[in-house]
Chains A and B, each alone.
Chain A
Amino acid sequence: MNGSAASTVSTAAPAGAGDTTTGSTTDVEQLKALQRRRPFGVWFRDKGWRHLVGIAVTIFAIFPLLYVLSAAFNSTGTLVGSNALFSRIDFGNFSELFNNPARPYARWFVNTMVVGVVTSAATVFLGAMAAYAFSRMRFKGRRIGLLSLLLLQMFPQLLAVVAIFLLLSGISEVIPALGLGSQLGLIMVYLGGALGVNTYLMYGFFNTVPQSLDEAAKIDGASHSQIFFGIIMRLVTPILAVVGLLSFIGISGEFVIASVVLTDPDSQTLAVGLYSFVAQQRSENWGVFAAGAVLAAVPVMALFLFLQRYIVSGLTQGSVKG
């Protein structure tokens, strides 16, 4: 319907070319008249149902989030008490959350941030170096290397969780600082997955940066490190942000390996700590758990929405390139 209206306008415009001012006003009026005249049924079949779908899906999407938000601000605290949404709003759960030494929430939060930030920064860096090598250099084993990365990334690390546990318990007998119970050990394990998907994603993006830039820099006598840090890394910021963010989200929500490696409550991450806290007595601790969940989700969601544009472009680029 709209399409036809637009075409009327465009064909009408050259006809009234002699008198431009009046011509354009009549066009606008004509358009408005058309829209006004359009019956509801036509509008609904064209666009209205889309809004219905949009509203229905939006409710489905955000209801659980509103539910947990309401539970967080409702200091009744139990699962039953949280059912009346937004019936009362106070901060009782939050103060309770930070005032129980048996449940060091603040420590969990800091631990998650440390593990997540260190791992994702390292992942971005290791992945970018590998992608640079694959994209800009030709060497023996390059094709095989790329192929094996593609194959390896199909097998997530959590499948080998038993072997990881036994390996780390072996390490902790020699160097306790890197073994079971240490976040450093956990970060090392996570870095095993730093190549793989990330490198593949970055490799595709690196290839879109024109080689002529490198060549020009080389003529000026730039070393490969100057090209890598000074030119390539600056031009591929979007993909670095995407990989960094996706790995941060992945790491901060990782449960299996973290729960096996981090045994002491003081060293645990949010995923492990919050789970063990709520798994024991789900209904009694609900309000406090909800408060913890809201606080845990806020940074991740803020980051996600802030970098949304990059993520979407990264995802679609990844999809188009396969």
Chain B
Amino acid sequence: MTDTELRQAAGAASATDPDGSGPAGRPGGPGAGRRRFGADTTKGTVAKIVLLGLVDALAVYVLMMLFLSESWGALAVSSAVVLVINWIYLRKGGLPAKYLAPGVLFLLVFQVFVVLFSGYIAFTNYGDGHNSTKDDAIAAIQLTAQKRVPDSPAYKAAVLAKDNSFYLLFTDPQGKVSIGTTQAPLEEVSGAGKDSTGKANAVDGYRTLTFQEIVANQQSILAITVPVSADPADGTLRTADGSNAYQFKPALTYDAAADTFTDTDTGVLYRDNGKGAFAADNGETLTTGWKIEVGMDNFVRAFTDPSLRGPLLGVILWTFTFAIASVALTFAMGLFLAITFNREDLRGKKVYRILMILPYAFPAFLSGLVWSGILNPQFGWLNQTLLGGATIGWLTDPLLAKISVLVVNLWLGFPYMFLVCTGALQSLPTELDEAARMDGAGPWRVFRSIKLPLLLVSIAPLLISSFAFNFNNFNVIFMLTGGGPRFADTDRDIGATDILITLVYKVAFGQGTGRDYGLASALAIIIFIIVATVSAISFKQTKALEDVNS
């Protein structure tokens, strides 16, 4: 309960600190000439001491853990933070800091620091195969670098499951059947069920995985290494596809003095290639590497790598299109509805309004999933029921998928614009309207020349934040199409409706292709720059708009 405690402690402490007792109290306190606050109650002081004590107790525990794990940098920073917190709440005066400290602490760690940290990661090759130090990488290579034993028999394999862990069932060329997993060395079994090719595929007490299950659990199945015997030097059995298995033996030895790996069979030498990996002279690298700083490499790669450049430009273009079109459509519809229902004497106005804002109240992530059911090309309601069995690819055709995404986002967003526009319309002065009518302006003219400009002054900031929100509107895209349909000209998981933020997520945490934190962070930094630029420009424009009108 650390954070709650911290918060409560901070709150109570700030609420009860002795303050304003001395005339030299706080130069930075409430403005000069203002009256001072009264003294604190005893109850408040006690609460403050207790809560600050709890925070400090927790802090001591954290500091001890940091000391034990020998994280010196984190230890130094944490100690400094603890000291500052105590100083803020124990000293006299400095009242604003007492109210601001808890919020600002979280803000600094989980908003400011993580952004700076992203900036750092963007300049490293952090990711699968490069996620630790060089020493860790060397240890891992020695453990995992295994090579197929030459002329060893090819085993047929099946994947079984028992108690949530996977087992491999092997059939050797002579038909001998044995079972094992990473923790359990190979063991012969009898009475296994076999299929027509003589491959054993079932054993009592175990469940045989279907092909779909094998695909879904690919990562964990590929990671299974079954020791041939209790002696590690005998090597292990592994499968690469869930149906064939081969015997592997350690294949690389490390020479600490020369900082090289040598292949035991071929004698090929692998050296540190300066890019966070060991590489042979022919350019072949060992899969396990380590994290290094690579400078602008990720950014350069994003715009030069042929499998990335085209799709990325498409994604950037679509991100802008999506954000601008979403704002324009929701605003247009919201404004139209606000004008339509801006009549005191319209019957049923309240009912309309409640029903219309329901999409806004419906959780956004569910909306994407529900619509994905409605629009599903094969089984969805739209094709099956409304269009009588049509097979229009609402979510699989690149153009239609984009339109579908926009329509769903319109459904999600128009109620908000409706509410906001109604509020803004009602706050407009009516004299202007009347004066214009007196001068002979028609309703359209009144709207275009008087109401709209005034409305834009108050709504423009909201349109900008709506743009910034839609620029990163992850949920609607990811839940509706998952970014698909995929581009044909790349082997990466990038699709026609992917926006930048879904691309960041897929690059960093996607299935199938390896995680690439460096590239993902570089893309996130690009989003930062775009959003900052657009916001800066448009806020300036808004100011101009305000000046013109006032």
Chain A residues packing against B (C-beta within 8 Å): 2, 47, 50-51, 53-54, 57-58, 60-62, 64-65, 67-68, 71, 78-80, 82-84, 118, 122, 125-127, 129-130, 132-133, 136-140, 142, 145, 152, 154-167, 170, 173-175, 178, 184, 187-189, 191-196, 199, 215, 218-229, 249, 252-253, 255-256, 259-260, 271, 274-275, 278-280, 282-283, 286, 289-290, 293, 296-297, 300-301, 304-305, 308, 311-313, 315-320, 322
* Residue of B whose beta carbon sits closest to that of A293: B366
CB proximity of A166 to chain B, nearest CB, Å = 7
Within 8 A of A (CB), among B452-468: 458-459, 461-462, 465, 468
27 contacts between A and B (CB under 8 A): A53-B340, A60-B411, A61-B355, A64-B374, A65-B358, A67-B370, A82-B373, A129-B99, A130-B104, A133-B99, A137-B99, A140-B28, A152-B112, A159-B528, A160-B115, A162-B508, A170-B74, A173-B69, A188-B2, A223-B37, A253-B366, A253-B475, A275-B369, A275-B479, A286-B373, A316-B427, A320-B458
Residues of chain A with a CB closer than 8 A to B370's CB: 64, 67-68, 290, 293
Interchain CB contact (< 8 A) of B458 among A125, A308, A319? A319
Residues of chain A with a CB closer than 8 A to B369's CB: 274-275, 278, 289, 293
Within 8 A of A (CB), among B1-41: 1-4, 7, 11, 14-16, 19, 28-31, 34-41
**Cα(A71)–Cα(B372), bound, Å:** 14
**Cα(A166)–Cα(B517), bound, Å:** 9
Chain B facing A: main interface SS: helix
Q: B348 in the interface, Cβ–Cβ < 8 Å?
A: yes
* Residue of B whose beta carbon sits closest to that of A63: B374
* Residue of B whose beta carbon sits closest to that of A316: B423
CB proximity of B83 to chain A, nearest CB, Å = 19
CB proximity of A256 to chain B, nearest CB, Å = 5
CB proximity of A40 to chain B, nearest CB, Å = 16
Stretch at the interface among B231-239, B240-248, B377-385: B377-385
Asked whether, in the complex, the Cβ of B354 is within 8 Å of the Cβ of A305, the reply is yes
Residues of chain B with a CB closer than 8 A to A84's CB: 385
Residues of chain A with a CB closer than 8 A to B380's CB: 79, 83
Asked whether, in the complex, the Cβ of B373 is within 8 Å of the Cβ of A127, the reply is no
Asked whether, in the complex, the Cβ of B356 is within 8 Å of the Cβ of A61, the reply is yes
CB proximity of B4 to chain A, nearest CB, Å = 7
Within 8 A of A (CB), among B372-419: 372-374, 376, 378-381, 384-385, 411, 415-416, 419
CB proximity of A236 to chain B, nearest CB, Å = 15
**Cα(A80)–Cα(B352), bound, Å:** 31
* Residue of B whose beta carbon sits closest to that of A70: B381
When A58-B352, A191-B106, A199-B103 are in contact, do A174 and B337 touch as well, CB less than 8 Å?
Answer: no
Residues of chain B with a CB closer than 8 A to A221's CB: 38-39
Of B107, B113, B426, the most chain A CB neighbours within 10 A belong to: B107
Residues of chain A with a CB closer than 8 A to B104's CB: 130, 195
Residues of chain A with a CB closer than 8 A to B111's CB: 152, 155, 157, 160, 192-193, 196
CB proximity of B342 to chain A, nearest CB, Å = 10
Chain A facing B: main interface SS: helix
Asked whether, in the complex, the Cβ of B110 is within 8 Å of the Cβ of A315, the reply is no
Asked whether, in the complex, the Cβ of B363 is within 8 Å of the Cβ of A249, the reply is yes
When A129-B99, A162-B508, A322-B458 are in contact, do A184 and B110 touch as well, CB less than 8 Å?
Answer: no
Interchain CB contact (< 8 A) of B29 among A139, A145, A256, A259? A139
CB proximity of A42 to chain B, nearest CB, Å = 15
CB proximity of B194 to chain A, nearest CB, Å = 30
Q: B362 in the interface, Cβ–Cβ < 8 Å?
A: yes
When A50-B340, A191-B3 are in contact, do A253 and B363 touch as well, CB less than 8 Å?
Answer: yes
Residues of chain A with a CB closer than 8 A to B520's CB: 162
Asked whether, in the complex, the Cβ of B423 is within 8 Å of the Cβ of A315, the reply is yes
Asked whether, in the complex, the Cβ of A255 is within 8 Å of the Cβ of B474, the reply is yes
Q: Mark B190-230, 1 if CB is under 8 A from A, else 0.
A: 00000000000000000000000000100000000000000
**Cα(A311)–Cα(B121), bound, Å:** 39
Of B118, B372, B517, the most chain A CB neighbours within 10 A belong to: B118
| Shortest 9 CB-CB contacts between residues of A and residues of B | A192-B110, A316-B423, A225-B15, A221-B38, A304-B361, A133-B99, A126-B103, A163-B117, A79-B379
Residues of chain B with a CB closer than 8 A to A78's CB: 379
**Cα(A158)–Cα(B501), bound, Å:** 8
Asked whether, in the complex, the Cβ of B381 is within 8 Å of the Cβ of A82, the reply is yes
* Residue of A whose beta carbon sits closest to that of B464: A154
Asked whether, in the complex, the Cβ of B462 is within 8 Å of the Cβ of A129, the reply is no
Q: B505 in the interface, Cβ–Cβ < 8 Å?
A: yes
**Cα(A3)–Cα(B359), bound, Å:** 34
Residues of chain B with a CB closer than 8 A to A191's CB: 3, 7, 106, 110
Interchain CB contact (< 8 A) of B15 among A164, A218, A229, A290? A229
